[in-house]
């Protein structure tokens, strides 16, 4: 990538390392050149060396002399760089075949489970066109099978237009670097061939679906503490991939998500980072897990949500303009311009010192204290096989039980059995 381009419309050289792009008299220039290529003249920006000599090295590698402006973030610093556009504009034949096969698969799954599925569905005003519009008991899901590159701004714009019409967008990609990830509700699948996509073969959702995990961070816990790597004695909750859950949860299948998203069994969640509320993870979660999360942390406060962070505040290094075509000199990180957006990291970690009382299935007695003699405490310790100081009151009836430490319980066996029977009736 180069640090400058030639603007064919204005006949000027643009310096991407300068805040004013070398043209303080054109305050809207940055907005103009960073528009998605499909919304401007594709030949608006030209390689500086091609403009000077009529040829550049990128043309020997099946790239065009026309440029796009991209952001690149390295070590937390985001800069502008110019990249050569490919000769082609449209998706390859293989991308098109995969796109068609995924549309057919989604429509087939919807039809098989009694949902209404419209292929290439357009809204009455013509503003929205969904690959598949699936309608279930709870939602209208606008599926978008995205196998070719797309910009983040296009994803946001199309998703918002769909949402304004009461359609919940669901973007499907086969790339963990796709710009659509976390910009709208999404799901990532394996990179199957078009033939495999169209077949009855099981197709799992590899990214975009999470499950709630909550636990007491003790010495005997199966998980290590996410804060210090050992244990902290507090309570944690976060969203985890199914394979990393304890115990493991089964992966969601694409055909299954077609149905559960429309019927409300899977719901989208927007989870702000605890470090930066503007950094957001978007996931599909089981509705029961969403309800449990709300019990712990309260309902979502959409009205007070922080605006999402931009892709990175730009840094301008004010380097000298380089007119030499640098195509092919980049390192691996440089060549693969897109960062990995779908990771296995847990999302939405919360830590709290005590379990909220509203989560207790067995209500606490009015007096949460143990009214026993020292001898009765010792007898209970012998009965439960623990030390006397680990004896405490049952949360349901107040009886002396092994309440604290490893192997303890919140309530006695009788109270737990009563709640269990009530749950089965």
Mean pLDDT of 299-324: 69
CA–CA distance, 178 with 65 (Å, rounded to integer): 24
Q: With contact defined as beta carbons under 8 Å apart, do 22 and 15 qualify?
A: yes
Identify the band that residue 335 occupies on the pLDDT scale cut at 50, 70 and 90. Answer: very low
Q: In the prediction, which pLDDT does 417 show?
A: 78
Q: Report yes or no on whether pTM surpasses 0.85.
A: no
Q: Who contacts 408 (Cβ-Cβ below 8 Å, separation ≥6)?
A: 386, 390, 402
CA–CA distance, 357 with 371 (Å, rounded to integer): 22
Please, what's the b/e burial string for 228-237 (b: 16 or more CB within 10 A of its CB; e: otherwise)?
Answer: eeebeeebbb
CA atoms lying within 13 Å on the CB side of residue 380: 23
Q: Please check the confidence at residue 307 and state whether its pLDDT lies above 80.
A: no
Q: Please check the confidence at residue 332 and state whether its pLDDT lies above 50.
A: no
Q: With contact defined as beta carbons under 8 Å apart, do 390 and 381 qualify?
A: yes
CA–CA distance, 238 with 381 (Å, rounded to integer): 35
Q: In the prediction, which pLDDT does 311 show?
A: 57
Mean pLDDT of 387-396: 88
Q: In the prediction, which pLDDT does 369 show?
A: 75
Q: Who contacts 329 (Cβ-Cβ below 8 Å, separation ≥6)?
A: none
pLDDT digits (tens, 9 = 90+) for 159-209: 999 999 999 999 999 999 888 999 999 999 999 999 999 999 999 999 999
Give the long-range contacts of residues 256-260, CB within 8 A, separation 24 or more. 257/170, 257/187, 257/205, 257/209, 257/284, 258/106, 258/109, 258/110, 258/113, 258/115, 258/134, 258/141, 258/143, 259/109, 259/110, 259/113, 259/115, 259/136
Q: In the prediction, which pLDDT does 45 show?
A: 94
Q: In the numeric block, which tokens belong to residue 247?
A: 């115990």
What is the separation of C-alpha 261 from the centre of its chain, rounded to a whole number of angstroms? 16
């Amino acid at each position: 990538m180069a640090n400058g381009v030639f603007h064919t419309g204005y006949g000027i050289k643009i310096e991407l390392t300068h805040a004013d792009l070398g043209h303080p008299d054109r305050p809207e220039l940055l907005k103009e050149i960073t528009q998605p290529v499909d919304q401007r003249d594709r030949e608006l920006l030209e390689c500086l060396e091609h403009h000077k000599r009529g040829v550049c090295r990128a043309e020997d590698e099946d790239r065009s002399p026309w440029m796009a402006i991209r952001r690149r973030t390295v070590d937390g610093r985001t800069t502008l760089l110019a990249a050569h556009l490919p000769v082609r504009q449209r998706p390859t034949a293989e991308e098109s075949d995969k796109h068609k096969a995924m549309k057919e698969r989604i429509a087939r799954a919807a039809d098989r489970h009694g949902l209404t599925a419209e292929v290439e569905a357009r809204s009455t005003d013509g503003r929205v066109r969904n690959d598949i519009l699936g309608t279930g008991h709870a939602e209208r899901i606008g599926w978008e099978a995205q196998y070719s590159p797309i910009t983040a701004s296009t994803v946001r714009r199309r998703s918002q237009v769909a949402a304004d019409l009461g359609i919940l967008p669901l973007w499907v990609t086969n790339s963990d670097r796709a710009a659509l990830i976390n910009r709208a509700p999404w799901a990532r699948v394996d990179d199957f061939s078009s033939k495999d996509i169209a077949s009855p073969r099981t197709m799992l959702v590899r990214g975009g679906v999470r499950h709630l995990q909550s636990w007491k961070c003790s010495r005997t816990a199966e998980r290590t503490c996410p804060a210090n790597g050992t244990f902290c004695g507090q309570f944690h909750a976060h969203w985890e991939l199914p394979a990393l859950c304890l115990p493991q949860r089964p992966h969601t299948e694409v055909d299954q998500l077609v149905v559960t998203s429309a019927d409300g069994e899977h719901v989208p969640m927007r989870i702000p980072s605890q470090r930066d509320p503007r950094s957001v993870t978007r996931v599909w979660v089981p509705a029961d897990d969403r309800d449990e999360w709300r019990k712990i942390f309260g309902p979502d406060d959409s009205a007070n949500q922080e605006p999402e962070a931009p892709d990175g505040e730009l840094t301008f290094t004010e380097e000298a303009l380089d007119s030499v075509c640098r195509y092919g000199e980049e390192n691996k990180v440089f060549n693969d311009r897109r960062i990995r957006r779908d990771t296995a990291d847990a999302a939405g970690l919360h830590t709290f010192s005590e379990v909220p009382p509203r989560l207790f299935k067995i209500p606490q007695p009015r007096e949460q204290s143990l009214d026993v003699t020292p001898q009765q405490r010792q007898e209970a310790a012998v009965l439960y096989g623990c030390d006397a100081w680990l004896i405490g009151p049952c949360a349901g009836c107040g009886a002396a039980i092994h309440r604290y430490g490893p192997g303890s319980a919140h309530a006695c066996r009788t109270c737990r059995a009563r709640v269990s029977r009530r749950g089965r009736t």
